[in-house]
Amino acid sequence: MRNKDLIEKLKIQRGLAEDEWVQIIDTFDEEDLRFAMDTARGITIERFGKKIYFRGIVEFTNVCRNDCYYCGIRAGNSNCARYRLDEEDILACCEDGYAHGFRTFVLQGGEDPYYTKEKICGIVRRISERFPDCAVTMSIGELDRDFYQALYDAGARRYLLRHESADASHYAMLHPASQKLESRMRCLKDLKEIGFQTGCGIMVGSPYQTSRHIAKDMMFMAEFKPEMVGLGPFIPHRDTPFRDEPAGSVDLTLMVIALTRIMLPDALIPSTTALGTAEAEGRQKGVLAGCNVVMPNLSPMEVRKKYMLYDGKVGTDMSAETGIRTLRAQMEEIGYEVVVARGDFQRR
């Protein structure tokens, strides 16, 4: 079957066979990409209009016990100046964000044992009480089920945990042996069962990734049905084992975004900072490929340069205010409007 016919088939069946995914990824040309993006964008506009949800990210700690080979804040990077925000700092970021129209706060950080269950749940509870009309999203890695349940009970309703690769051997090439795909999958399952709107996802073009790996990622997502999907190109960081690996391709990232949207019409899919870093117009292109979320940074200026997951991360040299204004202008430039809303997942 031609790639365009496979894309049509995906739209109807919301899934493809492994070899069909592999074919599209291996052989798509410029015209196929345009067709996939047009199809995905049509589905997004029909479902959400030309509205983009804003989420404010607070990067509250760059301390991490893990050693992911791709990540700039990995434990083994001794060139990384570590920081932690305290409860009052975090609340102040949310206060600032609320005034700018944010109705979702994403607390993201390394896996930092300093923030015990009691500590972090206390912070989540305060944010939920202070901003009852806002959603709290967590992105703090792998925790045990009790911990996830406690976060939910404290008021968090969404959780972002990219699966990074649905193939165990590929996953093992991106992480030390102590980090297992099995454990990541258990976390994702627990999160869904507890009732979180759950986000998974991958870096496109991560080292050693093949088209068959991406096919497996798509098949995993067809089955898992995440409410949110995070997709961005891999970008090397100079202080990691992957410093000399090539960055992921923007076109392949856009193709994966478009295919994900066609497969999961209701999903919340952010146009990521990594996409905006890989290319000046990256975030606009992400929206044109079916993204419907952007996540500006609300972290205090002083810490931004310290939360460097990859080299050249955009937005680290501007205030929250300027970052928001820039993103709003980028969206308006392509005819989209940024809305003040929680933007919860809704199945149709």
- Using left for φ > 0, alpha for ψ between -120 and 50, and beta otherwise, residue 81 falls in beta
Measured in degrees and rounded to the nearest 5, phi and psi for residue 66 equal: -90, 170
Residue 96 phi, psi dihedral angles, 5° rounding:
-60, -45
56, 97, 110, 290: which one binds ligand SAH (CB under 6 A): 110
- When asked if residue 239 is in the footprint of ligand SAH (CB under 6 A), the reply is no
Q: 105 vs 234, which CB is nearer to ligand SAH?
A: 234
Nearer to ligand SAH, 110 or 323 (CB): 110
Continuous H helices in 17-133:
18-27, 30-48, 87-99, 117-130
CA distance 202 to 215: 12
Q: Rounded to an integer, what distance in angstroms lies between the CA atom of residue 344 and that of residue 199?
A: 12
State the minimum distance, in angstroms, from the CB of residue 215 to ligand SAH: 19
Binding-site member from 23, 61, 139, 149 for ligand SAH (CB under 6 A): 139
Q: How far is the C-alpha of 284 from the C-alpha of 307, rounded, in Å?
A: 23
Single residue of 36, 106, 107, 235 touching ligand SAH by CB under 6 A: 235
Query: In the bound complex, what is the minimum distance in angstroms from residue 289's beta carbon to ligand SAH?
Result: 17
181 contacts ligand SAH (rule: CB under 6 A): no
Q: Which of residues 28-87 bind ligand SAH (CB under 6 A)?
A: 70-71
**226, containing H or E segment:** none
Angle at 221 between CA 11 and CA 75, to 5 degrees: 145
Phi-psi category of 164—alpha, beta or left, where left has phi over 0 and alpha has psi -120 to 50?
left
- SS3 label, residue 221: helix
User: Which of 43, 71 has the CB closer to ligand SAH?
Assistant: 71
108: contact with ligand SAH by CB under 6 A:
yes
For residue 239 the two structure tokens come to 């202080």
**Nearer to ligand SAH by C-beta: 232 or 290?**
232
Subset of 269-308 contacting ligand SAH (CB under 6 A)? 274
Minimum distance, C-beta of residue 180 to ligand SAH, in the bound complex (Å)? 14
Site for ligand SAH in 193-222 (CB under 6 A): 203
Candidates 86, 67, 89; CA nearest to 76 is 67
* Residue with Cβ nearer ligand SAH (295 or 331): 295
One of 162, 213, 261, 304 touching ligand SAH (CB under 6 A):
162
| Positions in the binding site for ligand SAH (CB under 6 A) | 70-71, 108, 110-111, 139-141, 161-162, 164, 203, 232, 234-235, 237, 274, 309-310
